[in-house]
Amino acid sequence: MRYHEEMEQLEIPRELPVLPVRDMVVFPDMIAPLFVSRELSVSAVESAIEDRRLVLALAQRRLDAEQPSAEDLYRVGTVGMVVRMRRLPDERLKILLQGIAKARLEGWVQERPHYVARLQPIQDLPLDELSVETEALIRTLREKLDAFSQISDDMGPDLVTAIGGIGDPGRLADLVASNLGMPVDAAQRVLETPDPVRRLRAVVEHMTEELELRSTKARIEKRVLDELDKSRREYFLREQMRQIRSELGEAEDERVELAGRIERAGMPQGVREEAERQLQRLAKMHADSAEAGSIRTHLEWLLELEWTSDRAEQVDLEHARSVLDEAHLGLEPVKQRVLEYLSVRKLNPDRQAPVLCLLGPPGVGKTSLGRSIARALHRRFARISLGGLRDQAELRGHRRTYVGAMPGRIVQAVRQAGSCDPVLLLDEIDKLGADVRGDPASVLLEVLDPEQNNAFVDHYLNVPFDLSRVVFVTTANRADTIPPALLDRLELIQLPGYSLRDKTAIARRFLLPRQLERCGLEPGQIEIEEEVIERLIERHTQEAGLRQLERAIAAICRKTAHAVAGGGRVPGRVEAQDLRAYLGPSIHRPLELLAEDAVGIAHALAWTPAGGQVLQIEALQMSGRGEIILTGQLGDVMRESARTALSCARALGDARGWRGDWAELDTHIHVPAGAIPKDGPSAGLPMAVVLVSLLSGLPVRRQIAMTGEISLRGRLLPVGGLRGKILAAQRAGIAELLIPAGNGEDLDTLPAEVKSGMTIRPVATLGEALAYALCDWSA
């Protein structure tokens, strides 16, 4: 106590050498052993020894600074006395520094060979008497000191006892902070706090956090040790169990069981030899080792696959026809092609049948048609989704050297089906991807090739598996995105979509009963007449398939179910005017036909993945520089068709004497619905008719629509999507169509209901088309 009083009464000079301290903060009353090695610090200590042995200890802001600048040092530090100094053999100094009082740096007197600072001593704020809160903080700190000494070696019992006898809040906070090993920035904030109570509160908060951290660390270390002891204990117990099982013969029973299953599995010779070799490896391993588990899983996969089958091919064409008619309404050409495929399999079961690819827009029943083929063949069915697949290991499997390896989707689907000759549906084959992990399409080249798939090797199984007995069916929305080599192995079957009549019948027979059942409604609680369904199809859906239609019917059923569950009135019959209340405003409004025949505007037929569509093509001429302006988001092919049509129309005009000053006229062709991209050559004919109408001044008949690619000499070339285009014209109320003569044979393949009420005229040249399309046209 007397020493402390002497230190307080010691007169502190206004200028002192500065000792930079790198990794700690020196507090008053703190005794700190320090090693001094930097020239700046050694010079400061030697200067202090020659004078009054006093230095100003300032902590560094940047701990990695070997030669700290003035900006690298904090502005508040502690004046300390070098109580003892000893020079070491490596020219370092070992000193014992006693903290005396806090001081603030006010300026620099010199910077070389060491810093000398002008300073101002700092006094704590006066504290008249201890409040209840301060007493509580002091007691809390003492309790935490006791707890801290039990889990840490940083504070011994003697030090805790000495600190516990201090009643001054400021001195207590400084001494505890100096022994806590706080980070430099946190300790510096405590040092710079002049209020003793706030300084004490900050130390208590830091000690609370430190106690929680150290307690958590102790619990984690104890848990790790317990887990280690548990693992050792389990190892010894497993070893004892293995010895017991060995004495009882249970380990031998597992190997005998696996050997018996291998004997009964009917594996080919090479596969059986590989399975027996793996079984021998398993017998030499510890039963609980990771490698043993991997081998056991591999054997389970080999044993759960069906390798041989004595089932004869059962093809009943009458049964197949009934299955297809039951599950699919319409699609007669598609069903006929499937029946032809099944007939060939019936007459020649050993012939390698082609791989069918069901090609069509979404929602037309491609996946369900694959299920129907499996039912018709009396085979099991499995589906593999290929959409977005980019890793070939997903199909061929992972090698067993990898952790978590498993067979590819092909083998998994065969196992899921439970037979070696299922019908596998490869869904969305047009959406395969490729990246650095390989190209899945290259795997399918082998899988779908009858000359190669009889010995397909999955990387996980590592033995050949015969896929030649599997019936593969694929589906796609577009053929142009399928790799050419893969497309060459497929036989395409087009599913163009459903007519309005087919959709109406499907909705009444299949979709409405299914949604009634899902919503918990009785059949009589909702009735939708054919006219209402037709309006629903035309105004609220625009697709080749049925998904949007089923969603709309589901919305009607849900609203009815809500009314029934709430005890409200059950609407019963749904009328056309009720559709707005159920589904909101019409999404698709019917094309508004022209009120009268007009010059420079005609109806064109287009095909989209959602089915056919009727477009209006408009043209105008105006003063300009002889340019052609094309608008409406037209693709490159459609732009070329427009230029071809313009050249053809100009040539016809020259032949008929309609000579105009083309160098001073701009021709503008526009296809409305500008937000929708359009492309394709089938708009060539309507564009040529519009331009000829513009040149001749003859109006285009409003009740006629047309499609066809046009050549530079006015010949009309065949186009695709004829069925969808005719259906679109029916929906729009157009009664007469012009199509290329090359599409005349396609009319014979269309059902009668598609062509009913329509006058379809095949034309071979632009001249023939103009005779029907323009009013008062004379050849």
Give how far Cα 513 sits from Cα of 43, 518, 537, 582, Å.
Answer: 98, 9, 17, 18
The residue ranges of DSSP E strands in 529-678, in sequence order, are 572-574, 601-608, 611-623, 628-631, 665-670
Tokens 């099982």: give the residue: 245
For β-strands 93-110 and 31-36, DSSP reports them as antiparallel
* CB neighbour class for 755 (10 Å; exposed up to 12, middle 13-18, buried from 19): middle
* Token pair of 335 as six digits: 């069903």
Q: How many whole angstroms separate alpha carbon 589 and alpha carbon 591?
A: 6
* Token pair of 175 as six digits: 């001494």
Instruction: Output DSSP code: residue 168.
Output: -
Rounded to the nearest 10 degrees, what angle do helices 332-347 and 366-376 cross at?
30
**End-to-end Cα separation, the chain, in angstroms:** 129
Q: Given 725, 755, 756, 778, which residue is catalytic?
A: 725
Is 682 assigned a catalytic role?
Answer: yes
Give every CB contact of residue 597 below 8 A, 6+ residues apart in sequence: 699, 700, 701, 702, 775
Q: Which helix (H) or strand (E) holds 494?
A: strand 490-494
Torsion of the alpha carbons at 612, 614, 615 and 616, rounded to the nearest 10 = 170
The partner residues of 614 in beta bridges, in order of sequence, read: 605
Give every CB contact of residue 53 below 8 A, 6+ residues apart in sequence: 81, 82, 83
The partner residues of 709 in beta bridges, in order of sequence, read: 717
Q: Given 682, 711, 755, 778, which residue is catalytic?
A: 682
Cis peptide before 126 (omega within 30 of 0): no
Q: Could you tell me which of 586, 583, 587 has the C-alpha nearest to residue 557?
A: 583
Q: Would you say 473 and 355 are in contact if contact means Cβ atoms under 8 Å apart?
A: yes
User: In 3-state terms, what secondary structure has residue 685?
Assistant: helix
The residue ranges of DSSP E strands in 395-465, in sequence order, are 423-427, 456-457, 464-465
Is 641 assigned a catalytic role?
Answer: no
Q: Would you say 526 and 519 are in contact if contact means Cβ atoms under 8 Å apart?
A: no
* Token pair of 109 as six digits: 């007197």
Torsion of the alpha carbons at 412, 418, 419 and 420, rounded to the nearest 10 = 20
* CB neighbour class for 147 (10 Å; exposed up to 12, middle 13-18, buried from 19): middle
Tokens 């071979």: give the residue: 764
Torsion of the alpha carbons at 144, 150, 154 and 159, rounded to the nearest 10 = 70
Give how far Cα 471 sits from Cα of 385, 446, 454, 466, Å.
Answer: 16, 14, 13, 12
Q: Of how many residues is the chain composed?
A: 779
Q: How many whole angstroms separate alpha carbon 388 and alpha carbon 415?
A: 23
Give every CB contact of residue 476 below 8 A, 6+ residues apart in sequence: 357, 358, 359, 428, 429, 430, 482
Q: How many whole angstroms separate alpha carbon 99 and alpha carbon 51?
A: 17
* Token pair of 188 as six digits: 């510096």
Q: How many whole angstroms separate alpha carbon 101 and alpha carbon 79?
A: 5
For β-strands 54-59 and 76-87, DSSP reports them as antiparallel
Q: Would you say 59 and 188 are in contact if contact means Cβ atoms under 8 Å apart?
A: yes
* CB neighbour class for 326 (10 Å; exposed up to 12, middle 13-18, buried from 19): exposed
Tokens 């163009």: give the residue: 496
Give every CB contact of residue 582 below 8 A, 6+ residues apart in sequence: 555, 556, 559, 574
Residues involved in catalysis: 682, 725
